[in-house]
Structure 1
Amino acid sequence: MIYKKARLILSTLLILITLSSVAQKNRPDIHVWAATPPMGWNSWDCFGPTVTEAEVKANADYMAKNLKSYGWNYVVVDIRWYVGNDKAHGYNETDPDYVLDEYGRFMPAVNRFPSAAGGKGFKPLADYLHQRGLKFGIHIMRGVPVIAVKQNLPIKGTSLRAGDIYSEKDQCKWLHDMYTVVPGKPGAQEYYNSLFELYASWGLDFVKVDDLSSPIYFAEEIEMIRKAIDRTGRKIVLSTSPGETPIAHAAHVQKYANMWRTVGDFWDNWKQLKEHFKVFERWNKWRAAGAYPDGDMLPLGRIGIRAERGNPRMTGFTKDEQYTLMTLWSIFKSPLMFGGNLPDNDPFTLSLLTNKNVLQVLNQSVNNQPLFTREDEVAWIADEPGTGAKYLALFNTGEQTAAIRIKLAELGLSKEVMITDLWSGKAMGKFSGEFAPELNKHGAGLYKIVRILK
């Protein structure tokens, strides 16, 4: 009898182990979906909550023509695409004209996105992008719409309603479109499932979910969203927002998201840019393949057209500061989401986005890490895989032009090396012992260092 019970227990354990193994095997590897840092355009810096379909298409057309071959492929419609009468420099919370379907899911405002008419949603726009070899993304707020709760709309595929899954606790402080979805409530997961079923039917490739990670980190809601995405079988990149994501949750966000914010909204001023040096150093160890700490959007080119902050303008960054921004984001391997209106790019802005040497550092470098931070000097290093070559990023954060001196021994280089300036593509010559390029204030240099074999 004892022998039979032991055999039964052993058999049950083997079944459970097998089932667990099958589940692990079938679980999608979400991090393969973003093998390199995502690169694209987002409508927020230009148009705030008011972007139109024509503007999205204009930016997509520019990307397809000028940037796609360099790896830029995501086109993301940011916040409140479901409000027909939103406004620049803030949000219309007085009398918002919400558009939603019978299951309490927001739909594109047809006056702004005409191709969404007839219940088509964003599928026609996604098709337009896919036909050009691009990928489609949207911004959403976590939770269930307040208006869906007030109308107590049904949750698709269930006998439950929006009023069964919500809580007013922890409602977003800066935008009041949504209530919290309570994890574990019957219908909560089903609501998120219904959202991503809809988005997958549109052809969604990227979702930025806001009010999810700061000041409160909603771990269970992140897991519900991840589960809903995976259930669709579609490779939808998950970006969590806003920042700074609490670093105490770094392991969790790295597991469930493809990118997560390390700062709040980033705009075109030196103070905010300079703060990124410490932020990126803090987050550097949490980067992994397919999981990227996100320094936020690139406020470059023509921004502020109908935005939350500032009047229409070319970026307030100097050219040197723009080099610093692109160099730092690349050596840190942050996602690159351009904020300017692409059709208004000048030649300099385009050159920042199409430098193959710099983008190679972003996409292929390994072992990226800070080397030193001195009073007005910062250095980062990385390796080119398989060659023994090293990448070196130097930054002058001070207010005067200065030579940034580095002993090559600090890089483990004791013999003569050849150094190339990656921004210009020009060989700088042979060096041994020390390398000391002169950099303008707030400027940066990015270099490739190759050992000379004798």
Structure 2
Amino acid sequence: MKYLKILLIATLLVACKNGEQQTAAADFKSWAATPPMGWNSWDCFGPSVVEDEVKSNADYMAEKLKDFGWEYVVVDIRWYVDNQTTGHYNAYDNSTFILDEYGRYMPSPSRFPSAGDGVGFKALADYVHSKGLKFGIHIMRGVPKEAVFNKLPIKGTDLTAADIYSTESECTWLQDNYTVVAGKPGAQEYYNSIFDLYASWGVDFVKVDDLSRPYHTEEIELIRNAIDQTGRKIVLSMSPGATPIDEHAHATAHANMWRTIDDFWDNWAQLNYSFEKCAEWAPYISQGAWPDADMLPLGKFIRGERATDRYTKFTKDEQYTLMTLWTMFKSPLMFGGNLPDNDDFTNALLTNKEVLEVHGYSENNRQWFKENDLIGWTADDPKTGDKYVAVFNSAGDGFVTTDNLLYRSGTLSKLTDGFGENIDIELPENSKELYLIVNDGGDGISWDHADWIDPIVHLEDGTEIKLTELEWEEAFAGWGTIGVNKSISGGDLNIKGTTYNNGIGTHSQSIIRYKLPENSKRFTAFAGLDIAATNSETGSTVEFMIATQDPTPKNEAPTAIPVNLTDLGLTGKYLIRDLWEHKDLGTYSDSEFKPVINYHGAGLYRVSEVK
């Protein structure tokens, strides 16, 4: 049964002291002049965080991290559901929603005791502000269904929520809201009303979900207008990814940060994939408008969606890689673990002033080279003219090497539209073999049934050859027997309720190797999660990859990576300083500097001319 609690208490818009709301809307990019840094409750607590947990993380940040630039404390999703107690979403019809009389979500009084009597998040925001920090919240795009069903009025109008909604483009993974239709009378007024409420609470940061994938241009513009009319500096974060790169100009014009990928977790496959996405988005980094590689899944997780009472699965080398890549990419840094459980190593990652200087103030950040599994990034120090250089030993993802892949889907999950991706790729000339690869997408749970639907090799003369009619040369899966025209469990091939007669049913992790017919030109397929995976409560994330070369990892040893200074236009002698170790390494020229980088590790260096 579905429950609804409506607070029939007029919401008092609290006047802010000392004119703190008097800002110019046109200056919103100055509100995040450097990439935002803070803590977000999602990784650690999922949708179930409570007030004392938020306060304890704020206390820790104020004491240990504030002096290093960490400032945002963000309450993530579903703070308005009174009976949300676990890391997984309650079903819509088993959720107790808290709204005010104007159809605006209010914090759960059982989870946030200070929010009762119509106070909302004002008291909690005041507490965070008293620590010298900033307060943020998460919201879903759209208008609450409960406001629509109950025809709750839109503040300041004679309209109701039922006048502004559409069932089209409803979020596929959380059914709390309907779409707000731009252009309908009351649509802008509704968004104005919720952001006026947030401004009255003292909110400094809003993460808006289900906004960037697919890209909701009109609602983004409603939200931008709503923030601007409040007169308060509220940083806008758009989520989730992948934001279409063709929308970079629109995103830059309307938001302070936007996601480049889907939810990022602590597994190497996703971190390895992030190199590609960061390189793709690097040309669009600009001050006050930051492509966002997502949160830092570091430290300890308590009861998150994919993490219960455990520490990050990233090795120390992988944590250096994560922090170095996010630093060179200038991604916002939002820590995901429970800060009071941090150990000395984790805090050292977050409090390295030399590294944070790169993150905040470097310019011209870009990928420099990618050769096999070795990657380099560069950036400039605008104050000194020094160069920053980062090098990475990506060395595959532990299951397959990602070098020379023809196709990589990134993580697919129940959050993915259609639960899959269409594939249409050109095959390199004279290719002899084809490898179909399915990897775990990041949850670390072995229930990831996956299907290759209608896998077809197209020859130069137009002939189509179904892979289901070819015998593979070699195949293995994480468990079970790979199925031809059936799932790995032996049932029908079924993706999101649609059954298919032609395809291959498999499981992560798996590799299927075929010998390609002569004159093979293209490969097409639809790759998606089998219904067995999406019906499971224990996990369903995969990544599809395609290669024509053996993807087996070849090297997991430390590797010397030459840094050719001449290629950077640097001639003469240069002092090189290791920023993670706070140590000068000596003077070098040309390609003399060859740091040895651990498997899945990284190095970050300042290069200064010796005069």
Q: Is 1:75 matched with 2:232? A: no
> Does the CA contact (< 8 Å) of 2:45 and 2:87 recur in 1?
no
Q: Is 1:449 matched with 2:449? A: no
Between the aligned partners of 1:390 and 1:105, the Cα distance in structure 2 is 49
Query: C-alpha displacement at 1:28, in angstroms?
Result: 2.0
Alignment of 1:95-110 (within 5 A): 95-110=94-109
Between the aligned partners of 2:119 and 2:334, the Cα distance in structure 1 is 27
Alignment of 1:344-383 (within 5 A): 344-383=341-380
Query: C-alpha displacement at 1:310, in angstroms?
Result: 3.0
Residue 172 of structure 1 is matched in structure 2 by: 171
Between the aligned partners of 1:413 and 1:315, the Cα distance in structure 2 is 39
Residue 433 of structure 1 is matched in structure 2 by: 590
After superposition, the Cα gap between the structure-2 partners of 1:217 and 1:439, relative to the gap in structure 1 and judged at 3 Å, is: same
Residue 126 of structure 1 is matched in structure 2 by: 125
Query: Which secondary structure does the structure 1 equivalent of 2:159 belong to?
Result: coil
Query: C-alpha displacement at 1:302, in angstroms?
Result: 0.3
> Per-residue CA shift, 1:103-147, capped at 9, x if unaligned?
000000000000001110000000001111000000000100001
Residue 21 of structure 1 is matched in structure 2 by: none
After superposition, the Cα gap between the structure-2 partners of 1:26 and 1:310, relative to the gap in structure 1 and judged at 3 Å, is: closer
After superposition, the Cα gap between the structure-2 partners of 1:310 and 1:132, relative to the gap in structure 1 and judged at 3 Å, is: closer
> Does the CA contact (< 8 Å) of 2:166 and 2:178 recur in 1?
yes
Q: Is 1:200 matched with 2:199? A: yes
Residue 9 of structure 1 is matched in structure 2 by: none
Query: Which secondary structure does the structure 2 equivalent of 1:67 belong to?
Result: helix
Q: Is 1:291 matched with 2:289? A: yes
After superposition, the Cα gap between the structure-2 partners of 1:391 and 1:217, relative to the gap in structure 1 and judged at 3 Å, is: same
> Per-residue CA shift, 1:184-227, capped at 9, x if unaligned?
0000000000000000000010000000110x211010000000
Percent sequence identity is: 62
Alignment of 1:177-196 (within 5 A): 177-196=176-195
Letter in structure 2 aligned against 1:400: A
Find the partner of 1:84 among 82, 105, 109.
Answer: 82
After superposition, the Cα gap between the structure-2 partners of 1:355 and 1:232, relative to the gap in structure 1 and judged at 3 Å, is: same
Between the aligned partners of 2:291 and 2:600, the Cα distance in structure 1 is 23
Range moving further from structure 2, 399-408 or 292-301: 399-408
Residue 409 of structure 1 is matched in structure 2 by: 566
Number of aligned residue pairs: give it.
Answer: 427
Letter in structure 1 aligned against 2:84: D
Letter in structure 2 aligned against 1:415: G
Letter in structure 1 aligned against 2:322: L
Q: Is 1:151 matched with 2:150? A: yes
> Does the CA contact (< 8 Å) of 2:386 and 2:607 recur in 1?
yes
Find the partner of 2:317 among 316, 320, 327.
Answer: 320
Q: Could you tell me which runs of 5 or more consecutive residues in structure 1 were left unpaired when the two chains were aligned.
A: 1-24
Find the partner of 2:27 among 18, 29, 46.
Answer: 29
Residue 226 of structure 2 is matched in structure 1 by: 228
Between the aligned partners of 2:42 and 2:52, the Cα distance in structure 1 is 15
Q: TM-score, normalised by structure 1?
A: 0.93
Alignment of 1:250-329 (within 5 A): 250-303=248-301, 305-329=302-326
Between the aligned partners of 1:81 and 1:27, the Cα distance in structure 2 is 28
Query: C-alpha displacement at 1:89, in angstroms?
Result: 4.1
Letter in structure 1 aligned against 2:609: R
Between the aligned partners of 2:273 and 2:114, the Cα distance in structure 1 is 42
> Per-residue CA shift, 1:71-115, capped at 9, x if unaligned?
000000000000011142421114101000000000000000000
Query: C-alpha displacement at 1:438, in angstroms?
Result: 0.2
Between the aligned partners of 2:166 and 2:358, the Cα distance in structure 1 is 45
Between the aligned partners of 1:388 and 1:111, the Cα distance in structure 2 is 54
Between the aligned partners of 2:25 and 2:114, the Cα distance in structure 1 is 35
Q: Is 1:387 matched with 2:384? A: yes
Letter in structure 1 aligned against 2:303: R
Query: Which secondary structure does the structure 1 equivalent of 2:270 belong to?
Result: helix
> Does the CA contact (< 8 Å) of 2:141 and 2:211 recur in 1?
yes
> Per-residue CA shift, 1:356-406, capped at 9, x if unaligned?
000000011111111101101000001111312110000011122100112
Between the aligned partners of 2:381 and 2:143, the Cα distance in structure 1 is 46
Query: C-alpha displacement at 1:410, in angstroms?
Result: 1.1
Residue 8 of structure 1 is matched in structure 2 by: none
Between the aligned partners of 2:563 and 2:40, the Cα distance in structure 1 is 37
> Does the CA contact (< 8 Å) of 2:125 and 2:135 recur in 1?
yes
Query: C-alpha displacement at 1:56, in angstroms?
Result: 0.1
Between the aligned partners of 1:235 and 1:26, the Cα distance in structure 2 is 9
Q: Is 1:242 matched with 2:399? A: no
> Per-residue CA shift, 1:241-293, capped at 9, x if unaligned?
01000111111011100000000000000000000111001101111100000
Higher strand share: 2
Range moving further from structure 2, 178-187 or 395-404: 395-404
Query: Which secondary structure does the structure 1 equivalent of 2:192 belong to?
Result: helix
Between the aligned partners of 2:378 and 2:240, the Cα distance in structure 1 is 28
Query: Which secondary structure does the structure 1 equivalent of 2:303 belong to?
Result: coil
Query: C-alpha displacement at 1:26, in angstroms?
Result: 5.9
Query: Which secondary structure does the structure 1 equivalent of 2:606 belong to?
Result: strand
Between the aligned partners of 1:27 and 1:198, the Cα distance in structure 2 is 17
Letter in structure 1 aligned against 2:359: L
Query: Which secondary structure does the structure 2 equivalent of 1:217 belong to?
Result: coil
Query: Which secondary structure does the structure 1 equivalent of 2:153 belong to?
Result: coil
Residue 412 of structure 2 is matched in structure 1 by: none
Between the aligned partners of 1:89 and 1:368, the Cα distance in structure 2 is 36
RMSD (CA atoms): 1.0
Query: C-alpha displacement at 1:30, in angstroms?
Result: 1.1
Query: Which secondary structure does the structure 2 equivalent of 1:170 belong to?
Result: coil
Query: C-alpha displacement at 1:27, in angstroms?
Result: 4.5
Query: Which secondary structure does the structure 2 equivalent of 1:99 belong to?
Result: strand
> Per-residue CA shift, 1:20-69, capped at 9, x if unaligned?
xxxxx965211011000000000000000000000000000000000000
Letter in structure 2 aligned against 1:443: G
After superposition, the Cα gap between the structure-2 partners of 1:120 and 1:89, relative to the gap in structure 1 and judged at 3 Å, is: closer
Between the aligned partners of 2:159 and 2:385, the Cα distance in structure 1 is 60
After superposition, the Cα gap between the structure-2 partners of 1:379 and 1:117, relative to the gap in structure 1 and judged at 3 Å, is: same
Between the aligned partners of 2:87 and 2:24, the Cα distance in structure 1 is 46
